[in-house]
Amino acid sequence: MQTWSALSGLSPGTLRPRWRDTDGDSPKFEMRMTASGPLGAIARFLYEAEADPLPVSIEELGMTARDNRGSVIDINLRFSSLVLKEVSK
Amino acid sequence: MKHERCILTMIITLALYVSAPAQSSQKADFSEFSIISARNIFNSERRAARQHMAEPSETPAPDEFRLIGILITDWSSLVFFESNQPEYKGLRKTGDHIAGFAIRSIRTDGLTLEKGGIRHEMPVTAVMRRNEAEAWELVDSSSWMPTTTGPPSQEQTADERPDSGSDVLKKLMERRRLEGNK
């Protein structure tokens, strides 16, 4: 995620990581994140997340413009990644 | 030897297997998504993308002039022209020229133009228009839309309407006064 931030220039405001479905064979690592920035930086961040070799799934994305020109946009992002149990142990 | 060949085959197969998913999941270039930031959907002031369509070529309006009024006094006879060309606009008197025509006579109902020995009777409100063959012709004045006077308002009385004779005279007098002040 640091790579995505570095490449896009979008700095996360808050990060809330947590484990989900830990009882199953494939627990999920979930991350909730808020950030603010220009649309270009947000697009680049999402692009880097999508193009990353890690199996990342964006599950929720909320975008709110701060002004009429959309120069700064707040995002509320939730994404998860599958983790093999052998690795998580 | 057979064992070495088997290992070599396995290595080649493994190399093909590794390279195959890399080709299938080829990373799309981020520049393909540049439209996202270029046309910010959150920007309420954004404009539609310019259409690269061939614009229809505008044909220029034909040259024309219209006889809008005549003022005959004891000491002079004047005619007033309106036109889409500045050089044809304004005041003329007997003997003056407009668009190559000489003004031979001025009457209360119109004037006589002459060019190349040919005379043309031009009544008030008539329009002379240059056609595609560059020749001037008298056209129906009803299709001509004046640019200087608007439609009469509802509050105007019949005498104040632009088409009434007294109004035309008033305007001519006013225009003459303005011309004299210049």
Phi, psi of B175, deg, nearest 5: -65, -40
Residue span of the structural domain in which A26 resides: 2-88
Q: Is B123 helix (H, G, I), strand (E, B) or coil?
A: strand
A69 to B40: CB separation less than 8 angstroms, yes or no: yes
- Number of domains into which chain A is organized: 1
Which residues in chain A (43-62) have CB-CB distances under 8 A to chain B? Answer: 43-44, 47, 51
Residue A32 CB contacts under 8 Å (≥ 6 apart), including other chains: A14, A15, A16, A17, A18, A76, A77, A78
Determine the distance in angstroms separating the CA of B20 from the nearest CA of chain A, rounded to an integer.
Answer: 15
Which member of B27, B28, B42 has the closest CB to residue A70?
A: B42
The pLDDT value given to residue B27: 67
Q: Of B34-43, B93-102, B129-138, B153-162, which range is least confident?
A: B153-162
**B16 CB-near residues (< 8 Å, 6+ apart):** none
Classify domain B64-147 at the CATH class level.
mainly beta
| Cut 0.90: pTM above it | no
Task: Please answer yes or no on whether A69 and B37 come within 8 Å at the CB atom.
Answer: no
Output the CA angle B70-B76-B78, nearest 5 degrees: 25
Kindly list the residues from chain B whose CB atom is less than 8 angstroms away from the CB atom of residue A68: 43-45
- Is A65 part of the contact surface with chain B (CB cutoff 8 Å)? yes
Phi, psi (degrees; rounded to nearest 5) at B164: -80, 150
**Virtual torsion, Cα B131, B133, B137, B139, nearest 10 deg:** -30
User: Would you place residue A59 in the very low, low, confident or very high pLDDT band (cuts 50, 70, 90)?
Assistant: very high
Asked if the model's pLDDT at residue B157 lies above 50, the reply is no
A40–B42 C-beta distance less than 8 A: no
Residue A67 CB-half CA count within 13 A: 6
Quote the ipTM score: 0.79
**Reported confidence tier of residue B117, pLDDT bands at 50, 70, 90:** confident
* Cβ contacts of A61-64, under 8 Å, gap ≥ 24: A63/B42
pLDDT band at B2 (very low <50, low <70, confident <90, very high): low
